[in-house]
Amino acid sequence: MVGAAVQPGRTDRAALLHPAASAAAPQPSRRTLARPLPPAPCRAALAATASVGMAVVCHSSRRGSRPTAFARKGCSAGHGGSGVSTAMAARRGEDSGGGQPLWSLESPRVQLLAVLVLIFVANQACRALPYYLVDFGTTAAPEYAMNAALAFSSAEYGFYATLGFTVPFTLASLVAGPLADRSDRVRIVGIAGLLWSVFTASMAGASTYGALLAERGLLAVSQAVTNPAALSLIADLFPEARATANAIFGLGIYVGGGIASLGAAADQGVGWRSTCLAFGAASLAISSLALAAPADPRGESGEAAADADAAAPRGRANSPGGLGELASDTLEAVAPPPARWLLLASWLRFCAGFAILVWLPPVVRARYPGDVESFAFYNSLIKAFAGGASSLSGGLAADALRARGLGERAGAVFAAVSSLLAAPLWFMTLSPDLSFEGCMGLLLVEYLVAEGWLGPAVAALQAAVPPKRRGAAQGVFSALTALGNLLPASLGLLAANDLAFGCQASVAVCYVASAACFVMAAANLPEGGGSEQ
């Protein structure tokens, strides 16, 4: 799709930014981008999710939707009248004009979004894979459980799965955000993907807990680049449908998490070391797509270079005052009150999400020991399909509410309602008297209700900060993603018999508290149709 027959450099940007000028040129043949991970159920899940997702979005864009104000004005809007903004507007006009649906697969920006989604799927699958390769039961075999092979305890696993990732990820995110405002975002996403793929595969050769922990830290540093670069790029590409575009990107969380869940089944078949090698190799193939894609359409100047500050040399992070300037950028990004409320609300949601991700598998293993393989299958489907459907629906609903008068408040309002409704559903999911089937049924409903928040929340954050600081804001957002591991790390200190209730109660409390913060953010965001700053 993207970059299949395009040479890197200025020519790519010209073709991407000015499609009309290159219409006469031979068009590259479309080819399938997806490189699914090995297990057969994974192929079906990924293909079906992608098909359903694009069908829903394309149907929505064709179903009598009126052109946006951006399109009616001939796509002349921009940031400060910069040439880059004009070029981006021209590219967006290609999608909304001439009868072409917004989400047409012929659109260069949709093709680029597809590449970013696939890479994010690999990102999330590699990040979550270790959660499904441990077994703290008394009969765990070293071949099928990394904790048995490397002799580490549940407390050491809690540190490895949470703070072992959180600390390096947080520090790297705070630098990656401002740098994304000055760099080729497509290329750095691709390079980061190659690195985390190598570190995932290298886990197969770990002989000690210390080596495994070091590889986890290196994986965290490389993965910290993805969200600031990808989400700030998406904000530039889809100003008229940010919540939906962010929600599509967010599918990677659910599809990737679902694929990681299948790692438990792969582990039972070929062992944890071979599973790590397979996941790393598949991620490497997917990440290479970004290196073949056209360069960042922002080009050498970029939207962040619209003012003198952002036009400074890209290497200034290495200058004597570089870190101070990066810190200044970050402080500017989080200065608006609604941005602060949104970041706090998002952190609470991350706490809840990571507590579920890290501790639901061990809780289910302990409570339903005869249903481990069934859990791997059902959990994979729930994450991929229910989570993905909820994410897409949330983005579409928030954009619809935005167009109907809620303006930039729409995303925060939607996220508040979603979080509040999810609290009782999650609490019931871990009720001790539930059967395995009842637990999975409630988990399905909880995912359908809870997981629509991410796209709307990110869209609200992008509207709350200056465009030139979106990368910095996403860096803080990513850092809070990592800090969400503080809750699952704390749960690891509980006695084994208290884990289920601790996870049950703490997640519900986080949901309610995040809903209150989203309400505060909505109260501080502008009413009416949002526009570019």
The CA distance from 340 to 520, in Å, is 10
Token pair listed for 475: 């860096």
The CA distance from 173 to 165, in Å, is 12
Q: What is the 3-state secondary structure (H, E, C) of 344-398?
A: HHHHHHHHHHHHHHHHHHHHHHHHCHHHHHHHHHHHHHHHHHHHHHHHHHHHHHH
Number of H-type helices and E-type strands within the chain: 23, 0
Q: Which domains does the chain have, with CATH numbers?
A: 106-297 (1.20.1250.20), 327-527 (1.20.1250.20)
The confidence score (pLDDT) of residue 506 equals 96
Q: Which residues of 185-196 are buried (b: 16+ CB within 10 A; e: fewer)?
A: bbbbbbebbebb
Residue holding tokens 């599973």?
Answer: 275
CA 128 vs CA 113, 119, 148, 238, 410: distances in Å: 22, 14, 19, 29, 31
The confidence score (pLDDT) of residue 299 equals 53
The confidence score (pLDDT) of residue 265 equals 87
Long-range contacts at 69-72 (CB < 8 A, ≥ 24 apart): 69/529, 70/96, 70/239, 70/240, 71/96, 71/97, 71/240
User: Do 407 and 495 form a contact (C-beta atoms < 8 A)?
Assistant: no
- φ/ψ of 513, rounded to 5, equals -65, -40
Low-confidence ranges of the chain (pLDDT < 50): 1-94, 96-98, 300-321, 529-533
The confidence score (pLDDT) of residue 65 equals 41
Give the pTM. 0.66
CA 532 vs CA 240, 338, 412: distances in Å: 10, 16, 18
Give the CA angle between residues 222, 464, 473 to the nearest 5°: 20
What interhelical angle do 388-401 and 409-429 show, nearest 10?
150
Residue 347 CB contacts under 8 Å (≥ 6 apart), including other chains: 480, 483, 484
Token pair listed for 308: 């003198």
Three-state DSSP state, 66: coil
Residue holding tokens 């809070």?
Answer: 480
Three-state DSSP state, 423: helix
